[in-house]
Amino acid sequence: MKTATARTAVRFRNILFATDFSAAAAQAIPYVKKIAKNYDAGLVTLHVRPPVVNPMTEPGTWPVDIEAAKAQDDKHREEVLDTFAGIRTQVLIEEGSIQSALDAAIEKNNTDLVV
């Protein structure tokens, strides 16, 4: 007996790629690129870092800490855009809770796939 195969079209409009910029996260990049290109999907990258200002440190150091974090964020943003050149890419760099940032990014960007 021959079985029928149901074909369901799969469409990913937006893919969320959460990264900590580690070597382990870099291993996912070729797969993310392939999926995004195959489905002509937009890519939302999310990096969540710990808070820059630590209330336990001297307030006089905060401007230097904030400026260093901004420079690091700019570097990461440029790396992401270079890595995913040719793919519609939005870079989100957030501070605080990973779960809260993930939830917000998924909801705001109508994410279909989280990698």
Q: Which of 105-110's residues contact partners 24+ apart within 8 Å by CB, and which partners? A: 105/16, 105/44, 105/46, 106/16, 109/14, 109/16, 109/42, 109/44, 110/13, 110/14
Summarised one tens digit per residue, pLDDT across range 5-58 is 667 677 889 999 999 999 999 999 999 999 999 999 999 999 999 999 988 888
Q: What is the pLDDT of residue 56?
A: 86
Helix (H) and strand (E) counts in the chain: 4, 4
Q: For residue 4, is pLDDT > 70?
A: no
Q: Mean pLDDT throughout 96-112?
A: 90
Angle (CA) 68-15-27 rounded to 5° is 65
Amino acid identity of residue 100, one-letter, is S
Summarised one tens digit per residue, pLDDT across range 58-84 is 889 899 999 999 999 999 999 999 999
93 confidence band (pLDDT: 50, 70, 90)? very high
115 confidence band (pLDDT: 50, 70, 90)? confident
The whole model's pTM is what? 0.84
DSSP 112: S
Alpha carbon 80 to its chain centroid, in Å, reads 9
Q: What is the rounded CA–CA span in Å between residue 105 and residue 66?
A: 23
